[in-house]
Amino acid sequence: MLTLRTKLALAILHDIQYRDYQLSTSFHYPSSETVCLLQELSKGHLITLMENQPCDRPESYLLAREYHKINILSILEALGEGVYFNRPSDEDFYSCYGTTARKLGIVNQMTRLYLMEISIAELPVTECPMGNTAACL
């Protein structure tokens, strides 16, 4: 359900919380992408740069709120990411997400059901100006 980019952001937040930077480095993502994620998480008010620290390293940041109060929605919004839906019986889904699989599975299934209710005939075909797509729907 979550993109690799979102999973990396989760790993970065985990590493910042526990001051153990092995999880995010295990992704072997380009450092430029990590810097981009740090900037987006900072703009999303999830992390704060410590004074007189370089902005390109997770070690330079603190969480802007308590770890247990950071939720998936705020992370997705900060990153401009979405959720990708899985087939309901995908065993990999449950093994990948562990104890959160039940909650994510419910979200996955409910969203799939709602999306099946939207007919293509209901959607406007007009072109939307970039940056104002919400006005078209």
Residue keyed to tokens 């970065």:
12
98: left (phi over 0), alpha (psi -120 to 50) or beta: left
33 HSE (CA, 13 A, CB side): 13
Contact of 77 with 44, CB cutoff 8 Å: yes
Res 53: pLDDT: 97
Domain boundaries, the chain: 4-79, 91-119
pLDDT confidence band for 2 (50 / 70 / 90): confident
Mean of the per-residue pLDDT values of the chain: 81
pTM of the model: 0.70
Per-residue pLDDT at 27: 87
Q: Say what the pLDDT of residue 137 is.
A: 45
**pLDDT per position as a tens digit, 38-95:** 999 999 999 999 999 999 999 999 999 999 899 888 898 899 987 776 665 567 767 7
